[in-house]
Amino acid sequence: MVLKDVLSKGIEILRNAKIETPEVDAGVILCSVLKCDRVFLYTHSDDDLDDGVMKRFFDAISSRSSGMPVQYITGRQEFMSLEFNVNSHVLIPRHDTEVLVETVMAFAENCRPSGHALQILDIGTGSGCIAVSLAYYIENCHVTAVDISEEAIKTAYENSEINGVKHKIDFKRSNLFESLKGERFDIIVSNPPYIPAGDIGGLQKEVKDFEPLTALDGGEDGLNFYRAIIAEAPDFLKPDGLIAFEVGYNQAGAVSEMLRDCFYGVGTVKDLGGIDRVVYGRCKGSING
């Protein structure tokens, strides 16, 4: 079969499976199988495709028909203009999370610590999209990236290699602060799991059936990880250090409230959709000095 007919067939299968963007998805999948760019699909539309390529394409189309996100099929997602490997062990990086990265970058710009590299901690690093982007864009910094999942740490490490910043990041398997005793950071950043447990069943199939539940489930009210992180953060932050979270829809007020005891300068930043997406504050100082 020639390329354009293979592509049309793929589009038709996705359309019948009620996939929302059949043309885009089939095109992205075919590009990934052929390791080519979009333009190639038009300039080589009459090329004959061999059986191996067709099998890989239609297998991938069938995965997409069952709801698997395109990013898990191609194994790739772009974030902060960088390329990231993704797999079923990690959340697919979301563009909304770029607001969190940009908030931290702006803070870093204004608080050049004299001489020493800015020490940043990313809790629940997943694919490493936050840690790697910060290491990439902030010149004099060192990032510690932790996750409870060994598989996530492996993926984040790969992503630090792909983007040439592995020398700027330490990866540790850690349940929140568990493996970090005695360390102090200038910045703690986290996009923790924040979906209320009862809402997970109502999420779209792509998310609830394919993304890791441990990366989504924030407990009964969705706020468990904010509570746990905020309770310990003052012991791991330098005085005036920054804490910055991504929060879910409608959570900014509650998370800001939680911060007020031990943090000052609490504020929020909206995402492109106008939703309060980031909550941040500065550490008043820790109980243990």
**Would you tell me how many other CB atoms lie within 10 Å of the CB of residue 19?**
21
Alpha helices in the chain (DSSP H): 3-16, 22-34, 38-43, 51-65, 70-74, 98-110, 129-137, 150-162, 205-208, 224-232, 252-259
The answer to whether the beta carbons of residues 274 and 249 sit under 8 Å apart is no
Q: Which is nearer to ligand GLN, 33 or 156 (CB)?
A: 156
To ligand GLN, the closest distance from the beta carbon of 240 in angstroms equals: 24
Q: Which is nearer to ligand GLN, 36 or 197 (CB)?
A: 197
Distances (CA, A) of 145 to 67, 124, 131, 284: 30, 7, 6, 24
To ligand GLN, the closest distance from the beta carbon of 173 in angstroms equals: 14
135 binds ligand GLN (CB under 6 A): no
The answer to whether the beta carbons of residues 190 and 245 sit under 8 Å apart is yes
x-or-dash pattern for ligand GLN, window 164-203, by CB under 6 A?
Answer: ---------------------------xxx----------
69 binds ligand GLN (CB under 6 A): no
126 binds ligand GLN (CB under 6 A): yes
3-state secondary structure of 248: coil
The answer to whether the beta carbons of residues 188 and 233 sit under 8 Å apart is yes
Q: Which residue is nearest to ligand GLN (CB)?
A: 126
Q: Stretches 2-10, 28-36, 121-129, 278-286: which one binds ligand GLN (CB under 6 A)?
A: 121-129
Residues at the site binding ligand GLN, with contacts judged by CB under 6 A = 91, 93, 97, 124-127, 129-130, 191-193, 215
